[in-house]
Amino acid sequence: MLKFLLEKEFKQFFRNRFLPRLVVIFPFVALLIFPLVANFEIKNINLSIIDNDKSSYSQSLIQKIQSSGYFRITDVSETYDGALKNIEINEADIIIEIPNNFEKDLVNEKFARVMISANAVSGVKAGLGGSYLANILNDYSSVVREKWIDQSKNKISIPHLEIVPQFRFNPTLEYKIFMIPALMVMVLSMICGFLPALNIVGEKENGTIEQMNVTPVKKFTLILSKLIPYWIIGFVVLTICFGVARVVYGLIPVGSILTIYLCASVFVLAYSGFGLVISNYAKTVQQAMFMMFFFVMTFVFMSGLYTPVANMPEWAQLLSNYSPLKYIIQVLRLVYLKGSGITDLLIPFLALCGFALFFNSWAIYSYRKNS
């Protein structure tokens, strides 16, 4: 009986003009576009410069800023008010003002001030731009200092600390490498969570489920016939994701791909089960859609996809333990970047198994053939 029901699900799926294409196109688009768009490296910050000093020191500072590659000098103003106007009409993001006696102060007093003001309407741009500028200024000051020490032929060296961070598992701190495994999870959860939920509710709306309910089909069989197809689709989606990551970004998991498949298969089972639970409580496709959105959004923000879980307040950290996404993202990142094996991932793996068991039992329990 299950065989026939599965055959039916697949026939319906492939006869749908839209769904099979979506399943193929969605992972491509997500992995090709999202990593490029959702990028925290900021370039082309529009900079407005007020150089009151016009000395050789101020000139070399401006050159240094220009050559950093992060900034585009869009305006050189005479006054601060003039520069502010540029911010108002959105032609500048950051103002740097070099004061009148910059060179004099620097030489005589060994101390000079520079003002940076940033337009914080776009918080990320202002924050990152400001800190890029601060870094350049720091750099500049140490260059100046070293020059003076050389000039004075004084052999007293000024002690300073040089910090050279080493980023393990992602040496260049490439944002994409970090995001892509997490994006795979996003794609997987969108397809494998939404489709089964909408499938059952769709049958409710069409009345077809009622006809099925008067038959001797067991709840378990019916739920299984809805679960298995999306499980298989999950594998297809994941494989496409692996392919894109490899071909486009040259990203190959350090660890075993089988570990990922194993954990992902449990995750898809858990997530489809969750979708089925929603579908059992929703009466219309609209209701199911909104319920899914609500939970998926919560799961995503609680999962550490964008912000590390450790940054969250304590209550949110506790709550994040109930997001199945958290564990699968952990698995994908660890296997992809660090090469962890299944023994290292026992906790997330067992957590996913727990979710799968919990949601699917709930789905079978809450499915009612009568009311």
Q: Which two tokens stand for residue 351?
A: 């957590």
Asked if 208 interacts with other proteins (CB under 8 A), we say yes
- Contact with other proteins (CB under 8 A): which of 15, 153, 155, 168? 15
Distance, in Å, from the CA atom of 162 to the CA atom of 349, rounded to the nearest integer, reads 41
Q: State which amino acid sits at residue 295.
A: F
CB of 198 to other proteins, least distance (A): 15
Position 18 contacts other proteins (CB under 8 A) = no
CB of 369 to other proteins, least distance (A): 8
For position 284 contacting other proteins by CB under 8 A, the verdict is no
Choices 8-16, 87-95, 321-329, 352-360 (CB under 8 A): range interacting with other proteins: 8-16
Closer CB to other proteins, 113 or 218, in the complex: 218
In whole angstroms, the minimum distance from the beta carbon of 259 to other proteins comes to 38
Smallest separation, CB 118 to other proteins (Å): 56
220 belongs to the binding site for other proteins (CB under 8 A):
no
DSSP-based three-state secondary structure for 71: strand
Secondary element (H or E) of residue 94:
strand 94-98
Q: Considering only residues 90, 215, 239, 284, which one is a binding residue for other proteins as defined by CB under 8 A?
A: 215
- Using CA atoms, how far apart are residues 155 and 149, in angstroms rounded to an integer? 8
Candidates 217, 224, 312, 342; binder of other proteins (CB under 8 A) is 217
| Cα–Cα dist 303/312, whole Å | 11
The residues facing 95 across adjacent strands are 48, 117
With binding defined as CB under 8 A, does residue 213 bind other proteins?
Answer: yes
3-state secondary structure of 117: strand
Nearer to other proteins, 171 or 207 (CB): 207
Residue 51, both tokens: 């150089």
Contact 326, 185 (CB under 8 A): no
Looking at beta carbons only, is 16 or 79 nearer to other proteins? 16
Segment contacting other proteins by CB under 8 A, of 77-85, 176-184, 213-221, 257-265 = 213-221
Q: Cα Rg for the chain, rounded, in angstroms? A: 28
Which among 319, 324, 329 is positioned nearest to 357, based on CA atoms?
324
The CA distance from 222 to 212, in Å, is: 9
Contacts with other proteins, residue ranges (CB under 8 A): 1, 4-5, 8, 11-12, 15-16, 206-208, 210-217, 369-371
